[in-house]
Structure 1
Amino acid sequence: MKERQSSKSWVSKLGGSILALGVALALGLTGCSSGQQAGTTVSKGPNDQLTFVAIFKALGNAGVTAAKKGMEERAKEIGNIKVEVTAPSAPDAAAQVQLIESYVQRGVDGLMVSSLGPSVCEAIDSAMSRGIPVITFDSDCPDSKRLTYVGSDNKAGGEAAGKLYAEAVKGKGKQRIAILTGVLGSQNLTERDQGFQEGLKKAGVDFEIVKTVPGNDDVPKSVDAVESTLRGDQSINGFFFDGPWPFLVEASNLPTLVDRTKNGGLTVVAFDTIQPEMDAVKNGLAHALVGQKYYGWGYQGAQVLDQIVRHGAKFDTVTATGFDLVTKDGGEGRFTPDEMDALWQSYAFKETPIMPPSK
């Protein structure tokens, strides 16, 4: 499969007690990673070296590259911050939990986590209880102890996708739509799917979700899922990809999708706006793309963690970064494929550091 690219005796006794207390306190603080104790942030100065780690679901895609560049850029602007980016070798919650535990043991100064599910959320709670500040991005753990979620509102993004789909099918009758997802149960993908359907409803589209098929965050498996779904049901006239996977390969790997979009009235809207997907819009395989601000994940993630660790800042439950829309003709509030392509070539994404809300 081709891929794109934390008196004297009395005085003496008191002094001894104070000394003992001081030693005990010092030992207690030493036992807490990164100057944190029981989840309470202790501010560090501008000359203190910090280490922040972003834990993704998987590596090897343009979104990760952009986030890493954003994280490095903001770390450079602030100074005295080392950043690391990692992920399991394949999307696996147990492996992600192990990574979180290893960085807690190392005593890093902050973690950014894109969660793969409930066990990861529990690991986040454990990290917080042991003094490591944790924020989430991309895929949230809203019921966990994480300090904030930095990223796009996935439900709002899904709703935007539904509205874009409605634009494309206006006057075309009932829509029998299939959904391609990644790992079933992922919080972010579930929210996108829910938002997509709400967007369709608000736009007055007559639709039925025929089935939801998983591709397990894997490009070949996602391509197979799309192709087999279309071959197995000729009545499907719509597809929503809640991630980019099928559009990360050459169109020749998707012969059924190509034929149905060109000749069978199939309408496709996909999430993510990473560079390889631009061809899908240019070639008419996708009507529109809705994407998160991947560079912003890293840039704003480093910013938020620094504000928390160095300044004791508190952020709202969600620190929203917005999202981008790509359509063939662009327009107000949208990008054309060429405009988004240019941003990916230069990584000249525009970000303004997010500050904690004033109370």
Structure 2
Amino acid sequence: MRRWWKRLFYAGGISLFIGSASLTTYCAWNVYMYSGVGEEKTLAKAKDTYHFVLVPEELDNDYWRLVEKGAKAAARELDVDLEYIGPRQANIDEHLRILKKAAAAKVDGIITQGLTEVEFVPVINEIVDKNIPVLTIDTDAPTSRRVGYIGTDNYYAGFIAGRALVEDTQGMVNVAIITGSLTAVHQQQRVRGFRDAVKNEKRIRIVAVEESHITRVQAAEKTYTILKKHPEVNAFYGTSALDAIGIARVVEQFHREQETYIIGFDTLPETIEYLQKGTIEATVVQEPYEMGYRAVKMMADIVAGHDVPAITNTETKVIRKEDLPLRPARNYEVKTP
């Protein structure tokens, strides 16, 4: 009798042990599986948040603030991180250093300009070699391995500026050109387009081309020097956003606003004021907000594996006083992002 109870006791103990072990194994397996699923979801969520960097020519510029504004609007819509960083004022060495730093941080995509072939193409190619896509904005680097370009057709912009001068003037016109940079590709294209637009007009003569380094002060200084050296100059063409502003200041100081034709670029508040006064006759309008907005959208498509166009040109046109106010305002009004 005792043997029977002893056998029953051992059998029950063994069953209880097996059941307990099975339950422990089951719970452990479920905990493991739950943890694994959670980790996968976390990783997937992390991958959904891309980190893009927009590096402009200079931060302290109302034109680039509009680009930033558009880019940040797109970033909010897409729920991506956008870092806007660049030189305070135009400086190619610092610009390139920031690009290299962004690449070293292994960001998901870089949006920048291709200001010069010699300096920018090798750096862009180096970044692409690290499997980081690059979009050029405002200024293209077509010989690089950038994925695409979005912005103004700068040659065309210069060409329509030249045709506007032809249409708006009569008689002999002696033109001086103030350009933001003699080496930046987009500035060169704007000068070349302008030259081609007026080259067959015998009454129009280009007498000087000077560099402002994209500052109001130097644009004014160069204008002053030109008027002293070439008093016959009765027209100016400014190829960067700040050039026409500097030109207008000096022309007013010389009290020559009635006899001097000025055409510039962009629609900064000061440019609009001079346009309304009649000191500046015309300005070439770009779409900086659209450039920034569409560049971020395009970069999101690229990192998602979608094809994008090699070149996307935003709208460019010449406007005069009678065209004010401009719409949509988001491309022309500067506000805090």
- The alignment's TM-score, normalised by the length of structure 1, stands at 0.75
Structure 2 unaligned blocks of 5 or more = 1-43
**Percentage of pairs with the same residue:** 23
Q: For residue 166 of structure 1, give the secondary structure of its aligned residue in structure 2.
A: helix
Equivalent residue, structure 2, for 1:137:
137
Q: CA RMSD in A?
A: 2.3
Are 1:166 and 1:205, in contact at CA under 8 Å, matched by a contact in 2? no
Partner of 1:261: 257
Other-structure match for 1:51: 51
Partner of 1:106: 105
1:136 partner SS: strand
Tell whether 2:233 aligns with 1:240: no
- 2:285·2:316 contact (CA, 8 Å) conserved in 1? yes
Larger radius of gyration between Structure 1 and Structure 2: 2
The letter of the residue matching 2:264 is: A
Matches of 1:157 and 1:111, distance apart in 2: 25
Partner of 2:273: 279
State the 1:258 CA deviation: 5.6
- For 2:272, give the aligned amino acid: M
Return the alpha-carbon distance in structure 2 between the equivalents of residues 345 and 255 of structure 1: 26
CA 1:308/1:238 → structure 2, altered by over 3 Å: closer, same or farther? Answer: same
**What is the deviation of 1:123?**
0.7
Q: Which residue of 2 is the match for residue 14 of structure 1?
A: none
Query: Do the aligned partners of 1:70 and 1:297 also contact (CA within 8 Å) in 2?
Result: yes
Which of the residues 178, 192, 205 maps onto 1:208? 205
Question: Cα distance 1:103–1:63, how it changes in 2: closer, same or farther (>3 A)?
Answer: same
Q: Does 1:290 align with 2:284?
A: yes
- Following superposition, the deviation at residue 116 of structure 1 comes to 3.0
Distance 2:183 2:225 in 1: 22
Distance 1:67 1:304 in 2: 14
Q: Which residue of 2 aligns with 1:229?
A: 226
Once the two structures are TM-superposed, the CA of residue 47 in structure 1 deviates from its matched residue by 6.2
Q: Name the count of aligned residue pairs.
A: 290
Aligned twin of 2:195:
197
Q: Deviations over 1:66-88 (max 9, x none)?
A: 11111111112222x11111212
Partner of 1:301: 295
Letter in 2 for 1:183: S
Question: CA offsets per residue over residues 12-57 of structure 1, 9 Å max, x none?
Answer: xxxxxxxxxxxxxxxxxxxxxxxxxxxxxxxx98961111111111
Alignment of 1:165 onto 2:165? yes
Amino acid at match of 2:150: V
Q: Which letter maps to 1:339?
A: L
Q: Which has the higher helix share?
A: 2
- Secondary structure of the corresponding residue to residue 54 of structure 1: strand
Distance in 2, matches of 1:245 and 1:135, equals 25
In 1, Cα distance between equivalents of 2:247 and 2:193:
29
- Is residue 54–residue 110 contact of structure 2 (8 Å, CA) maintained in 1? yes
Separation of aligned partners in 2, 1:221 and 1:46: 47
Whether the 8 Å CA contact 2:67–2:289 is kept in 1: the answer is: yes
1:184 to 182, 188, 194: 182
Amino acid of the residue matched to residue 103 of structure 2? V
Counterpart for residue 156 of structure 2: 156
Deviations 1:231-257 (A, max 9, x none): 221111111000121445696x42556
SS at match of 1:149: strand
Whole-Å Cα distance in 2 between the matches of residues 303 and 313 of structure 1? 11
Matched with 1:313 is 306
Offset at residue 128 of structure 1 (A): 0.7
1:325 equivalent in structure 2: 318
